[in-house]
Structure 1
Amino acid sequence: MLAPRVLGLATGPEVEIITALKSTERDGLSVVLPGVSSPLQGRTHRFARITVRLEPGGQRAEALATLDFNGKLGKTEISSLGVERVPFVLRDGSWEPEGSAAPRLAAVVAALEFRRRALEAGDTSALSRLVGRDAGVEGSQLDAVLALGRRRYQSQAWYIRMERDEAVVTERWRLEGVLPSRPVDEQGERSLSLLRDGDEFFFSPTLM
């Protein structure tokens, strides 16, 4: 059982972990996403309401916090606010994030980018791997995207609200391509929902 200790009562390892998280606000936050050439690059971010949970043995811990993030992935603007959960490990006497300092945000952004690329490529197999167990890939909006030739799908911005087990995203998009009868150049906004399954997030109920 993890034992939570709140920031106001923190001593010892808790202070070191909180300091390590807060130091990223000064040093900057850049997260490499597996399979994505551009890093998730923070412009500004702030951790708040930090709680540290130490595991028995004193070698591992978890920081729970709210994260207010503004940055970019390639040309996509990203603004996110919500819950973050950061595993920490003790290495050579110092507490460090086990991986990223924003693993949940990184998982959501990775899912969004994989979806964007699969839509642009018309890769229905890749799209099917991005949905939850009870979600579907079909739909008229998806059919309209896949019907285009010389397709280009841009995610101009993602506005993300992170909850404990869910992310709600407003996407600002642009779709370009050609139909047999005419060229297409459309823009708009849509709402997307992702549910957490382990360390990953999957789209539910639909991709569009």
Structure 2
Amino acid sequence: MRRLEDWGKLGGIGIAALALAAALLFFGPRLLGAAAGPEAEIITTLKEAEHDGVSLPVPGAPVPLVSRKIQYARIAVSVAPDGQSAEAYATLDFEGVLGTTVVSTAGVERVPFALEAGEWKPQPSVAPRLVAAVAALEARRRALAQGLPQELARLTGPGGDGGVGQAWAEAAPLRRRRLTVAAWYLRLERDEAVVTEHYRLEGDLPSRPVDTRGERPLLLVREGDQFLFSPGLM
């Protein structure tokens, strides 16, 4: 009987140890991050985002940008003197989709953070510069497809030609116009994004139907928290 009681105690201790190990596995990175300071906690937050299926809302787009691969490296954190906000700078390797459009990028990402209820939260997402660039690309695609030159003008940087670039010159004459984008390949730099767009433009001219597939270089220039198109590459 004594031996059974001893085994029961050992079993209880074993279960408690397993529960503690599971808790440390789940909460350990957070606890260690909090103990080590905001820099470690912010880095942990970004590394925890490295998985498939991260959903990033894109302003103006009907669907979110969804990751297939997201990876951060060379992360550096700068905490504000008041200790309530911070910025993380990192290289970002991202592959995902916006609806049926493939989005792939490599380059520099800047993620603002704010301290909320004792936790560091990314503002507004874990990839705000990528989202801003994709929002501009999607707005341009929509304006070209719908025939909105005034919207193209709004997306063009200072010194632009009102948005009437080569892409609009090709799309404007078409009836039943349809523009689809197979892929955007981006390289995010500090103040700009270099983009290669793989597109298909369909429609009708008075004399013949048009079905054009091609690649187009685009250049986005950062203006505050948004990106505008370089007038020469629209």
TM over 0.5: yes
Q: Is the 8 A contact 1:107 1:201 kept in 2?
A: yes
Hey, what's the Cα distance between the residues in 1 that align with 2:108 and 2:173?
38
Q: In structure 1, what is the equivalent of residue 206 of structure 2?
A: 180
- Structure 1 residue 77 and structure 2 residue 102: aligned? yes
- Structure 1 residue 206 and structure 2 residue 206: aligned? no
Q: In structure 2, what is the equivalent of residue 6 of structure 1?
A: none
Percent sequence identity is 57
SS in 2 for 1:64: strand
- Structure 1 residue 169 and structure 2 residue 195: aligned? yes
* Deviation for aligned residue 1:84: 0.4
Q: In structure 1, what is the equivalent of residue 19 of structure 2?
A: none
SS in 1 for 2:133: helix
Larger mean CA deviation between 19-28 and 156-165 belongs to 19-28
* Deviation for aligned residue 1:35: 1.9
1:191 and 1:140, CA in 2 relative to 1: closer, same or farther beyond 3 A? closer
Amino acid at match of 1:13: P
Instruction: Give the greater-gyration-radius structure (CA).
Output: 2
Hey, what's the Cα distance between the residues in 1 that align with 2:166 and 2:70?
37
| TM-score normalised by L of structure 2 | 0.82
Hey, what's the Cα distance between the residues in 2 that align with 1:158 and 1:119?
16
- Structure 1 residue 131 and structure 2 residue 159: aligned? no
Q: In structure 2, what is the equivalent of residue 152 of structure 1?
A: 178
Q: Is the 8 A contact 1:151 1:175 kept in 2?
A: yes
* Deviation for aligned residue 1:26: 3.2
* Deviation for aligned residue 1:159: 0.3
1:99 and 1:139, CA in 2 relative to 1: closer, same or farther beyond 3 A? closer
1:109 and 1:141, CA in 2 relative to 1: closer, same or farther beyond 3 A? closer
Task: Give the number of aligned pairs.
Answer: 199
Gaps of 5+ in 2: 1-35
Q: Which has the higher contact order (CA 8 A, sep 6+)?
A: 1
Hey, what's the Cα distance between the residues in 1 that align with 2:170 and 2:227?
25
* Deviation for aligned residue 1:140: 4.4
SS in 1 for 2:184: strand
1:98 and 1:133, CA in 2 relative to 1: closer, same or farther beyond 3 A? same
Amino acid at match of 1:60: S
Which of 98, 101, 118 aligns to 2:126? It is 101
Q: Is the 8 A contact 2:51 2:68 kept in 1?
A: no
1:28 and 1:58, CA in 2 relative to 1: closer, same or farther beyond 3 A? farther
Hey, what's the Cα distance between the residues in 2 that align with 1:40 and 1:55?
30
SS in 2 for 1:206: coil
Q: Which has the higher helix share?
A: 2
Q: RMSD in angstroms over aligned alpha carbons?
A: 1.4
Hey, what's the Cα distance between the residues in 2 that align with 1:139 and 1:100?
32
* Deviation for aligned residue 1:105: 0.2
* Deviation for aligned residue 1:29: 2.1
- Structure 1 residue 189 and structure 2 residue 215: aligned? yes
SS in 1 for 2:49: helix
Q: Which has the higher strand share?
A: 1
- Structure 1 residue 143 and structure 2 residue 173: aligned? no
Gaps of 5+ in 1: 1-10
